[in-house]
Structure 1
Amino acid sequence: MPFEVQPDVVLLMVALGAGYLWALRSLGPRVAPDEVTQRRRPVLFFTGLLVLTVAASWPIDTIGDGYLFSVHMGQYLLMTLVAAPLLLAGVPGWLLRELTVPIRPAVAWLARPLIALLILNTILVVSHWPALIEIYVTNDVVHFAMHVLWVGSGLLFWMPILSPIPEYPRLSEPLQMGYLFLSSVIPTFPASFLTWADGPFYDVYAEAPRLWGISAITDTQAAGLVMKLGGGILLWSVITVIFFRWVATQTDPSADSNPPSRIRPSNGAPLQHR
């Protein structure tokens, strides 16, 4: 596996980063002059962009496409459970509002917790169907579309947890923990089929050159463990953070003494939470 630069990935990530900086410096002062973007948001956004670049580039993308299915599964987790929440957490509320104005009703419906959870897991199962995997590793258009679906479903999935605007409301902390707990349980069922498989599921990985002496069956079982344990560790880490943050608000009466002011739309009327 000689080193290779994927110019399409580099150009896309540079374009996304440049567009984000332009929005902060030029668009924000015009559309939201009274809103201050927290300094941590650019850090989170560019960290997410870095994770996305690593996941979509050599060597992860090369190994995941034609050698080891377990690395492919790790690539999926990086895009949906690491890069997506970092990108969403890095987008200021005013920017998310501007980006989704034309499709706000659709996003509001798709970002409902049960809908977003169903979308994420449906794409997980469908995108790893053996027939589709065979096309994914050989067709560049399908390959790119799959990555877009992974990141897009990840952004919708994290909206009930990280949304910065009331148009797409967050769940309360107890419901956030329940939502993430359910999200950690559902993938264990398809992961079990991989973990306890007695043969490889995918011809393209079964016939691929063996890296580091890893057999095709071991690779398939490792992919199940990556899905089950890797995804579970990521989600339970977030659950732990939410739990301690929620406990702190329950024990500190001053935590809610200064609730955030309501964001007003352009007509000046306060937005109402439903």
Structure 2
Amino acid sequence: MNQIGGFFEMWNPVLLLVVVVVGYVYRRFVAKGNGKSAEVEPVTVVQQLSFYSGLVLFYIGQGSPINYIGHHYLFSMHMLQQTVLYLIVPICFWLGTPAWVLRPLMRNVVFRGLFSFFSRPLIALFLFNMLFSIYHMPLVMDNLMRNDLALLGYHTVLLFTAFMMWFPVFCPIPELNSLNDLKKMAYIFGNGILLTPACALIIFADSVIYDMYANVTVPFAHLSPLDDQQLGGVIMKIIQEIVYGATLAYIFFRWYRRERKEDAELEALENQESMNNQGGNWNRA
């Protein structure tokens, strides 16, 4: 493997076209759908930027040279792809999706039943982390890398479980938001614990554990296969810590602001009641 692939292999214009079409549909029917009915709440600029960011990051992870290089040359690029697709992209899409887009789907009994099952916090938590850990077992990953169709199928399932894993944290539908903020923080801690063994296996291995990358000659990097493998584990762990830490901070400060607001409203209500009672006493006097 001494030659880099051509333009179509490196940039995947078909996927780029799909991303552009999805972005146009979102812009045309979601972002500009404000005010058409009482159920349609405005789509904020932040939501739009979040959704478009998810599309861009999805293409970077799946359609840019990161995908090709990660599959053929560098394990570290493959792990970078994994972190983008499974730890960042789902968050962007959930934050950018208004509730009124999903509510019609939830009216379908079959869809709601399947979605509710796979998005249950414990099921979503263990299913994603179990599949992610299995994927990084050397025997499994080596065989998947040799079969493009099987690899695509596994990545599709893994991406679906990643969306389900993040749904309880960034649920866009208030009536389906089953976790309070404290439980969400515990949920994120659990995710971090379950993801650690796969990263540790890769970081602390003293030999190359994946045949796919053992004898690759990289024409543009000065990394040994073992250094590349360890770098991949470090990339995964560092980005995981950043994403989970940012998520915890986001949830904590949102909870803190809401608690302060509720305390201020309660204090104002008590002051108003106190003033009313004093006014009543003066009237009787």
Give yes or no for contact 1:136–1:142 (8 Å, CA) kept in 2: yes
The one-letter amino acid of 2:27's match is: L
The offset of 1:168, in angstroms, is 2.7
Alignment of 1:39-188 (within 5 A): 39=44, 40-100=46-106, 101=108, 102-188=110-196
Name the counterpart of 1:251.
260
Change in CA separation of 1:98 and 1:144 when aligned onto 2, cut-off 3 Å = farther
Change (3 A) 1:170 1:23: farther
Instruction: Tell me how far 1:159 sits from its aligned partner.
Output: 0.9
Aligned pairs for 1:199-210 (under 5 A) are 199-210=207-218
Query: Secondary structure of 1:212's partner?
Result: coil
Partner of residue 192 from structure 1, selected from 178, 192, 200: 200
Deviation at residue 57 of structure 1 after TM alignment: 1.9
2:199–2:237 Cα contact (<8 Å) kept:
yes
More divergent stretch after superposition (68-77 vs 99-108): 99-108
In terms of mean alpha carbon deviation, does 97-106 or 110-119 score higher? 97-106
Q: What stretches of structure 1 of length at least 5 have no aligned partner?
A: 258-274
- 1:9-48 deviation digits (Å, cap 9, x = unpaired): 1132123223333432798877x54322322322211111
Letter in 2 for 1:163: C
Q: Residue in 2 aligned with 1:262?
A: none
Question: Which stretch of structure 1 is more off in the superposition, 98-107 or 62-71?
Answer: 98-107
Q: What is the match of residue 229 of structure 1?
A: 238
AA aligned to 2:39 is D
**1:238 equivalent among 230, 247, 269:** 247
Question: 2:39 aligned to 34, 40, 47, which one?
Answer: 34
Q: How far 1:50 sits from its partner (Å)?
A: 0.6
How far, CA to CA, are the matches of 1:188 and 1:217 in structure 2?
19
- Cα deviation for residue 205 of structure 1 reads 0.8
Contact 1:111–1:157, Cα closer than 8 Å, also in 2: yes
Are residues 5 and 71 of structure 1, via their aligned partners in 2, closer, same or farther at CA, if it must alter by over 3 Å?
A: closer
User: 2-side partners of 1:11 and 1:21: how far apart?
Assistant: 15
Cα distance, 1:203–1:96 mapped onto 2, change above 3 Å: same
8 Å CA contact retained: 2:11, 2:65: no
Partner of 1:261: none
The amino acid of 1:24's aligned partner reads: V
Letter in 2 for 1:36: E
Deviation at 1:256, TM superposition (A): 7.5
User: TM (normalized to structure 2)?
Assistant: 0.81
- How large is the RMSD of aligned CA atoms in angstroms? 2.4
Cα separation, partners in 2 of 1:25 and 1:252, compared to 1, 3 Å? closer
Change beyond 3 A, Cα 1:111–1:28: farther
CA distance in 2, matches of 1:78, 1:26: 28
**The structure with more radius of gyration:** 2
Spell out, residue by residue over 1:124-167, the C-alpha distance to the aligned partner (whole angstroms, 9 max, x if none).
11222333423443433234323322321121111111112145
Query: CA contact under 8 A between 2:87 and 2:240: conserved in structure 1?
Result: yes
